[in-house]
C-alpha cells in the first residue's frame, strides 16, 4: 500500500483509514470529502458470525474497479476517488472496504460514493464465506436451496 498514487487497492493487510484518506487528491476547489467504511457484521440473519473469508478474482476485480472509478469520476464530476478492499480472513468488526470521494460540494461526493459501492457489490468479482455458529455460509448463495 506504499505507492500513494495507487487509487485502487486490494489487500490482505488490515486497512489503515488515514492512509486511504491521504491518497485522495484535492484541489483548492474541493470542499467535501465523503468516506464509506464497510465492516464485518457479528450477527447475520440472527446467527452469530465468527469470521469472514473474502475471495477475489484478483485481475478482473482490479481492472473492473479501475474502470468503475474512472466512470464514476466522469459521471459525477468529482475530483478523486480511492477504494481499498480486503481479502483473506477477517474478524468481526474488521474493515472490509474503504471508499473516499472528494468533490467541490457534498452532494456529488455522497451520490458518487453510493453509486460506487452499489456497483462494486453488483459487478466486482468478490465473494464472502462466513464462518457462523451453525457452519459455513457463502453470502448470496440462497439461490442454491
Partner 1 sequence: MIKVMYFAYLKDITGVKEEWLEIDGNLVRNVLNKIFEKYPKLKDAPIMVVVDKKIVKEDEVVEEGDEIRVYPPVCGG
Residues that bind partner 1 (CB under 8 A): 38, 54-57, 59-61, 63-64, 85, 96-97, 117, 120-129, 138-141, 143-144
Closest approach, Cβ 20 to partner 1, in A, equals 15
d(C-alpha 15, C-alpha 1), whole Å: 9
Q: Which three cell numbers stand for residue 26?
A: 484535492
Closest approach, Cβ 39 to partner 1, in A, equals 10
**Residue with Cβ nearer partner 1 (68 or 78):** 68
Closest approach, Cβ 29 to partner 1, in A, equals 29
**Residue with Cβ nearer partner 1 (16 or 44):** 44
Strand arrangement, sheet containing 95-103: 8-11, 80-86, 95-103, 32-39
**Residue with Cβ nearer partner 1 (27 or 144):** 144
Closest approach, Cβ 96 to partner 1, in A, equals 7
Residue 97: count of CB within 10 angstroms of its CB: 19
**Residue with Cβ nearer partner 1 (96 or 100):** 96
**Residue with Cβ nearer partner 1 (30 or 129):** 129
* Residue entry with cell 489503515: 16
Closest approach, Cβ 112 to partner 1, in A, equals 15
Of 137, 132, 135, 139, nearest in space to 48 by CA: 132
Query: How are beta strands 47-56 and 126-132 bridged, if at all?
Result: antiparallel
The DSSP H or E segment spanning 80 is: strand 80-86
Amino acid at each position: 500500500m506504499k505507492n500513494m498514487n495507487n487509487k485502487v487497492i486490494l489487500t490482505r493487510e488490515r486497512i489503515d483509514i488515514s492512509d486511504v484518506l491521504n491518497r485522495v487528491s484535492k484541489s483548492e476547489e474541493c470542499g467535501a470529502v465523503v468516506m464509506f467504511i464497510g465492516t464485518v457484521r457479528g450477527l447475520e440473519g440472527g446467527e452469530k458470525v465468527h469470521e469472514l473469508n473474502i475471495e477475489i478474482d484478483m485481475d478482473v476485480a482490479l481492472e473492473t474497479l479501475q474502470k468503475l472509478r474512472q466512470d464514476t469520476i466522469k459521471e459525477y464530476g468529482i475530483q478523486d476517488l480511492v477504494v481499498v478492499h480486503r481479502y483473506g480472513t477477517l474478524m468481526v468488526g474488521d474493515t472490509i472496504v474503504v471508499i473516499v470521494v472528494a468533490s467541490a460540494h457534498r452532494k456529488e461526493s455522497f451520490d458518487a460514493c453510493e453509486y460506487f459501492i452499489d456497483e462494486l457489490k453488483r459487478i466486482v468479482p468478490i465473494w464472502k464465506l462466513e464462518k457462523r455458529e451453525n457452519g459455513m455460509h457463502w453470502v448470496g448463495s440462497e439461490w442454491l436451496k
